[in-house]
């Protein structure tokens, strides 16, 4: 008999996104789960953060999440059979000081998820590094940049607006080191 293997984070994201859509809830996946998808699993996350684009009632949200087996536990939703939990941080959708963020819809397995673009996911993780000194977020940004085409000129300009030019240089050096075959960053 095969051992039970829990669903991977992208499948859980697609399942939750579909349940939210069925309930008429518009939400965007952000944070570490978004980075995990854009880094093709090189970065791991144990939670999924969805930003609600419009207000909804707690009851509608609980019913949507309950339809796929998640129950509210404080400020998060948990599932007894999954290692992941779901949170709905307060909006609006933004990255650092930039509130003009345009989500994209991506195909994940057999489902679709509204999420940050790879570029915006990289910025999102860099914002956590810039403003909260989150080194894991830096690792995630490096992993995304290593796997996706990220415009360094636009990223540098945004970093300067965030007041983080020197921290951007650390990121740039890490990405450059990775492209020359440096060891993979810690998860």
In a domain, 184, yes or no: no
Half-sphere exposure of 160 (CA within 13 A, CB side): 6
pLDDT tens-digit series, residues 101-137: 999 999 998 899 999 999 999 999 999 999 999 999 9
**What is the torsion angle, in degrees rounded to the nearest 10, for the CA atoms of residue 40, residue 169, residue 185 and residue 133?**
-100
The whole domain housing 139 covers 118-179
Give the domain-ending residue among 90, 115, 140.
115
Give the domain-ending residue among 115, 142, 163.
115
**Mind giving me the DSSP string for 36-64?**
HHHTTTSS--SEEEEEESS---HHHHHHH
In a domain, 186, yes or no: no
Residues 123 and 104 in one domain: no
Query: Residue 177 corresponds to which tokens in the numbers above?
Result: 């080191």
In a domain, 152, yes or no: yes
Residues 110 and 142 in one domain: no
Residues 66 and 124 in one domain: no
CB of 13 closer than 8 Å to CB of 48: yes
Residues 54 and 142 in one domain: no
pLDDT tens-digit series, residues 29-69: 999 999 999 999 999 999 999 999 999 999 999 999 999 99
Confidence label for 182 from pLDDT (cuts 50, 70 and 90): very low
Q: Is the pLDDT of residue 1 over 80?
A: no
CA distances from 90 to 30, 87, 117 (A): 12, 10, 20
* Domain count within the chain: 2
- CATH number of the domain that residue 111 is part of: 3.30.460
């Amino acid at each position: 008999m095969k051992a039970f293997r829990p669903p991977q984070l992208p499948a859980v994201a697609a399942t939750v996104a579909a349940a939210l859509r069925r309930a008429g809830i518009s939400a965007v996946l952000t944070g570490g789960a978004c980075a995990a998808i854009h880094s093709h699993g090189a970065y791991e996350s144990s939670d999924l953060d969805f930003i609600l684009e419009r207000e909804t009632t707690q009851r509608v949200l609980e019913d949507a999440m309950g339809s796929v087996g998640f129950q509210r536990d404080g400020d998060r939703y948990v599932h007894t059979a999954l290692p992941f939990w779901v949170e709905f941080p307060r909006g609006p959708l933004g990255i650092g000081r930039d509130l003009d963020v345009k989500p994209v819809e991506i195909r994940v397995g057999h489902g679709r998820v509204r999420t940050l673009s790879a570029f915006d996911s990289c910025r999102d993780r860099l914002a956590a590094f810039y403003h909260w000194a989150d080194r894991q977020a830096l690792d995630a940004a490096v992993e995304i940049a290593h796997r996706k085409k990220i415009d360094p000129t636009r990223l540098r300009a945004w970093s300067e607006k965030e007041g983080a030019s020197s921290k951007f240089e650390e990121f740039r050096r890490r990405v450059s080191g990775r492209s020359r075959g440096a060891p993979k960053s810690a998860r």
